[in-house]
Structure 1
Amino acid sequence: MTKTTALCLLPFLAALTLGGAGQAQTTTAPPRVVLGTTQQDGVAAKLGETFTLGKASPLNFTLLSADYSVGRVVIGNTVYFPKVGEKLLVLHYTVHNPQSRDVRYYWPDLTFTAVDAQDRNYPFAQAVAREGTSERLELNLKPAQKVQVMTVIRVPAAGVVPKLMVAREAALLRYDLRGQVRKLAAGLADPADASGATPLAQLPATMNAFRSLERFDVRLDDVQFTNDVLGGKAPPAGQRYLSATFTLRSMEPRGSRYAWSDFKPILKDADGERVEYNQMLLKASRDEKAVGTLEAGEEVRVRFYFALPANVNGQSLSLTDGAGRPLLFDISSAR
């Protein structure tokens, strides 16, 4: 090969080299794979709309309404009651059988998941009731039969619950609940939250009216000061007793035991000082310890009492029977 021929071939060889290198770069780069970033498929749904869910055994579902609650919900023999940091999201819906054969419906056939503002999930109670009753629902739906149903979800006390997911088989409905959930009843909502979705930490209560705790409905019947012997002891020198008489009504389906340890009363005096519970529960009209068992719906009258300086009145009395938020009674008028 002459020197001239070699010089002529150099550009051609350089082009082949560069082209081959470029081709190698594009064919050897591995594909980029990212797992778990795709949201589960679902249908945007609204309250009042009817959807057919499931293919193997379809059911028609309609979410009718939803509301926030700090009250007691009973399904079967189980009591659902929100703790201090919780409220209940109560769901009301219908289930309709569109098939030509009987279809069983009970709690696992539809699943409900609430999602809070921080995208945390809260599953439903795994129990459903026939609307308007505490009856645990499990039945065979006849063709074209429709039933109204209720269930509950424990959700955080603070703020709204923006999302709800309802699923059956592979079908998924997504609800935007903002502005769609019935607010807490007047007097129960924290006025600092304009949405009406955040309950007060303590629930105002009045005398002579039953209010709900977890296991009992309670009514404050009387508050008075006395120098009588209570708990086998007279008031200490310079002090008197503040006595508060309550009626307890058992609300558990299987009845309720009651004793001093079942309650957490706290008195605040007129100076705002807290007076701790003396762990005594007395019968309403006798200086005897109150303890026993009530059937569902049965009532008993009991007394709590606290020692206060003779010249100091009471301001408020709170009462709860578990981990729920307490009822708060204004007793400042007692003399």
Structure 2
Amino acid sequence: MMRHPLFVSALTLALISAAHAATTPAVQTGRPVVQGTQQLDGQNAQVGQTFTIGKQSPLNFTLRSAEYSTGRMLFGDTITFPKADEKLLILHYTVQNPQKREARYYWGDIKFTAVDALDRNHDYVQAVAREGTTDKFEITLKPAQKVDVVTVIVVPAAGPVPKLMVQREENGTPQVLRYDLRAKAKPLNAPFADPEDRSGATAALRVNVPAGKVVPLRYFDVRLDRVTFTAEPLLGRAPAPGRRYLTATFVIKNPLGRDVEYSWGNFQASLKDADGERVEYNQLMLKASRDEKASGTLPRGEEARVRFYWELPETVAGDTVYLTDESGRAYAFDVKATK
């Protein structure tokens, strides 16, 4: 039977088109795929909720609370202490073994990342401790056993930390919990909170310290004991004619789990006088009741009394004594009442 030429041509084109489609990759329509922009899979979580994270060796995780601090945290011999432009985000949580067999838990099993208001990530210190202790922590959990744990993240001093990510990874596959910490993290208290931020989420760069208040430096707890004027020689040198010394006696205490060496180099002590002029640190520290330089070894838990001093005109009173260390966050002690 004869076929019409046009019918043959149409059939040939159809066969060619089908063959081309079979050898040409399909073009997908829809949203483009952009690498590196997709966030990790996870679920939103609330403080106080319990989640099972991990599949091969699951753990039950409960974030119990979060708080801001400008104090020190100890994990064994490691000290975490914030600088002047930093604060700590302390995380209190519970880990429980839901398995029928024993399960290990140590700092690397659950990872913590804080995301600040500028969307910058801050990882935790890669250390944990059992709640209420300072020893580095690792445990083999028996079935159903639970333990309260604490860790810390160093974050910026200014503003809240809106996000926290908690992650457990097995065989390269992460499981993520996402927490909204806005209005959830316990704020800083006076005098450590910046009074201009009513939320209590910003750490003060300069902390005004009331009389008798104990405050932390990196290696020592310190308290102003007394402030006096004297015209007597210090380290064998009398003040210049028409001038006198203002001396500030501090109690320093070793809060660490080991002995600590102390000397003038552990501190930065300066004075603002009643005229508003700053008298810088003379890099000298004396014993509290003897005209001798102070230095030595302070056993754990013990105290020492030391003096700092500055030379002023006889007619000029003191205003504020500032004490800090390598962190740069200054404690300001009002000494205007000193005669």
What is the TM-score with the length of structure 1 in the denominator? 0.90
Superposed CA offset, 1:24-70 (max 9, x none): 9xx79977653222111111111011000001110000001100001
Q: CA deviation at 1:206?
A: 2.6
What letter is aligned with 1:287? D
Matched, 1:83 2:83: yes
Which residue of 192, 195, 202 corresponds with 2:196? 192
Does the aligned pair in 2 maintain the 1:82–1:324 contact within 8 Å? no
Matched, 1:312 2:319: no
Q: Distance between the aligned counterparts of 1:124 and 1:34, measured in 2?
A: 29
Larger mean Cα displacement after TM superposition, 70-79 or 272-281: 70-79
1:261 counterpart SS class: helix
Q: Which residue number corresponds to residue 165 of structure 1?
A: 165
What letter is aligned with 2:315? N
Q: CA deviation at 1:257?
A: 1.0
Does the aligned pair in 1 maintain the 2:191–2:209 contact within 8 Å? no
Q: Distance between the aligned counterparts of 2:246 and 2:73, measured in 1?
A: 33
What letter is aligned with 1:307? E
Q: Distance between the aligned counterparts of 2:154 and 2:61, measured in 1?
A: 22
1:265 counterpart SS class: strand
What letter is aligned with 2:177? L
Q: Which residue number corresponds to residue 5 of structure 1?
A: none
Superposed CA offset, 1:84-133 (max 9, x none): 00000000000000011111111001000000111110000111111122
Does the aligned pair in 2 maintain the 1:122–1:155 contact within 8 Å? yes
Q: Which residue number corresponds to residue 255 of structure 2?
A: 251
Q: Which runs of 4+ in 1 moved over 3 A?
A: 27-33
Q: Which residue number corresponds to residue 95 of structure 1?
A: 95
What letter is aligned with 1:88? L
What letter is aligned with 1:320? T
Q: Distance between the aligned counterparts of 2:33 and 2:157, measured in 1?
A: 40
What letter is aligned with 2:308? F
Q: Which residue number corresponds to residue 152 of structure 1?
A: 152
Does the aligned pair in 2 maintain the 1:115–1:163 contact within 8 Å? yes
Which residue of 263, 270, 276 corresponds with 1:266? 270
Q: Which residue number corresponds to residue 3 of structure 2?
A: none
Q: C-alpha root-mean-square deviation of aligned residues, in Å? A: 2.0
What letter is aligned with 2:89? L
Q: Which residue number corresponds to residue 213 of structure 1?
A: 217
Q: CA deviation at 1:196?
A: 1.1
1:39 counterpart SS class: coil
Q: Distance between the aligned counterparts of 1:95 and 1:324, measured in 2?
A: 36
Matched, 1:287 2:288: no
Matched, 1:115 2:119: no
Q: Distance between the aligned counterparts of 2:331 and 2:291, measured in 1?
A: 26
Does the aligned pair in 2 maintain the 1:201–1:325 contact within 8 Å? yes
Q: Distance between the aligned counterparts of 1:51 and 1:307, measured in 2?
A: 62
2:149 counterpart SS class: strand
Which residue of 280, 283, 289 corresponds with 1:276? 280
Q: Which residue number corresponds to residue 302 of structure 1?
A: 306
Unpaired runs of at least 5, structure 2: 1-5
What letter is aligned with 1:261? G
Does the aligned pair in 2 maintain the 1:61–1:93 contact within 8 Å? yes
Q: CA deviation at 1:171?
A: 1.0
Matched, 1:128 2:128: yes
Superposed CA offset, 1:209-258 (max 9, x none): 32211110111111000001102100011110001111111123222111
Q: Distance between the aligned counterparts of 1:327 and 1:78, measured in 2?
A: 24
Does the aligned pair in 2 maintain the 1:228–1:234 contact within 8 Å? yes
Larger mean Cα displacement after TM superposition, 38-47 or 153-162: 38-47
2:83 counterpart SS class: coil
Superposed CA offset, 1:5-34 (max 9, x none): xxxx9xx99xx9xxx9xx99xx79977653
Q: Distance between the aligned counterparts of 2:214 and 2:117, measured in 1?
A: 35
What is the TM-score with the length of structure 2 in the denominator? 0.89
What letter is aligned with 2:108? P
Q: CA deviation at 1:186?
A: 2.6
What letter is aligned with 1:304? F
Identity, % of aligned positions: 58
Q: Which residue number corresponds to residue 71 of structure 1?
A: 71
